[in-house]
Amino acid sequence: MIPLRPLQAGEIVEGSVRTMRLHWRSVVGISLTVAVGTQTVATVIERLWPRGTQELDALSGETPQSPQELVDAIGNGLGSLGVTWLLSLVGSITAAALLTVIVSRAVLGRPVTTLEAWRSARPQLARMTGLLILVPLLLVGVFAVGIVWGLLAAAAGAEQAGMSLMAMGGLASMVVATWLWIRYSLAAPALMLEKQSVLGAMRRSAKLVRGAWWRVFGIQLMSVLITLLVGFMAQAIVVVLDVVVHGFGEQSTADATDWASLISIGIAAVVSATITLPVTAGMTALLYMDQRIRRESLDIELARAAGE
């Protein structure tokens, strides 16, 4: 699947796509099942519980009149958004775990069925869940610390100063959160393939990333851009379906929570996730292996294992 030597960024992308192409039954089956399951429930929630996202959408494209307005909108939206986030988390955990196993076997030239991937990944799912909850909470905590001073100032009556503090704190938090994201971005494959604990996987990732932060950042950024590009292309499906269902004119945007609109949005999300989940999981797994090749001569072990 990959040359057993230090990889270039293009080879990491190519290896991820090649895995998806040669093992499409397992890879697409997993990503499609996860995407359809999570998006179906999310669509139903959005239709039956639209209040939260409607209030957040009302703030889209404009600056809140006060921090309290933003806090109220977020608070009212936490219910539906929280359930949707939980579903997305479950899907991401399952897909990342199974796809990492498939990629690791593909590197050795060994095909693996979905059932075999599930049997291999299942013992690590609880720890994978802990990891994929802990890291986002850590990043959220960074942002909370960054903006809390502005919120306190605004609550004390200095709204202008509070908004300025929130902006500066948010910018600083973004820098710190990005650094932490890259530092722990290889924790998932470390946990799955080395059977590490949650904290052990985070320490392992930090060790592998040390001294190569900018390179890892560049490749992970490429993964994000691929996801955004595929999402943008899938969004075109929403536009076409919306025109087919509603026709041109104001009616096409009159009600974004009717079943037709939600289903068209869901189809676009499923298409996007089915393609991007394998690619991003594959790139992360191959980047992890590449860092081990560069630091620990993993290529020698892989060549030996592939020949057995």
Q: How far apart are CA 87 and CA 77, in angstroms?
A: 16
Q: Per-residue pLDDT for 245 more than 70? A: no
Q: Which residue has the higher pLDDT, 245 or 30?
A: 30
| Percent of the chain residues past pLDDT 70, beyond the cut | 81
Judged against a pLDDT cut of 80, whether residue 20 lies above it is answered with: yes
Does pLDDT of 254 surpass 50?
no
Nearest one of 172, 182, 183, 181 to 148, comparing CA atoms: 172
Of 33-37, 68-72, 189-193, the least confident: 68-72
Whether the predicted pLDDT of 210 surpasses 60: yes
What's the pLDDT score for residue 235? Answer: 75
- For residues 209 and 291, the answer to whether their CB atoms sit within 8 Å is yes
Give CA–CA dist 117/26, Å, rounded. 9
Mean pLDDT of 25-33: 89
- Look at residue 236 in the predicted model and tell me its pLDDT: 79
Give the CA diameter of the chain. Answer: 70
Q: What token pair was written down for 179?
A: 């650094």
- What mean pLDDT do residues 47-65 have? 54
Task: Specify the higher pLDDT residue, 64 or 231.
Answer: 231
What are the Cα distances from residue 23, in Å, to 87, 107, 153? 26, 12, 55
- For residue 73, the model assigns a pLDDT of 54
Q: Per-domain residue ranges for the chain?
A: 9-307
The percentage of the chain sitting over the pLDDT mark of 90, rounded to a whole number, equals 29
Is 70 exceeded by the pLDDT of residue 52? no
Q: What is the mean predicted confidence (pLDDT) over 8-32?
A: 89
Is the pLDDT at 250 greater than 80? The verdict is no
Q: Indicate if the pLDDT at residue 59 is higher than 60.
A: no
Average pLDDT along the chain:
82
Mean pLDDT along residues 20-35: 88
pLDDT of residue 4: 81
Q: Is the pLDDT of residue 288 over 90?
A: yes
69 and 250 Cβ atoms separated by less than 8 Å = no
- As a whole number of angstroms, the distance between CA 103 and CA 278 comes to 9
Q: Which range is most confident: 86-90, 168-172, 200-204, 255-259?
A: 200-204
Nearest residue to 70 via CA among 161, 133, 159: 159
Q: Is the pLDDT of residue 142 over 60?
A: yes
Instruction: Report pLDDT for 69.
Output: 56
- The average pLDDT across 225-243 equals 79
Average pLDDT over residues 214-235: 89
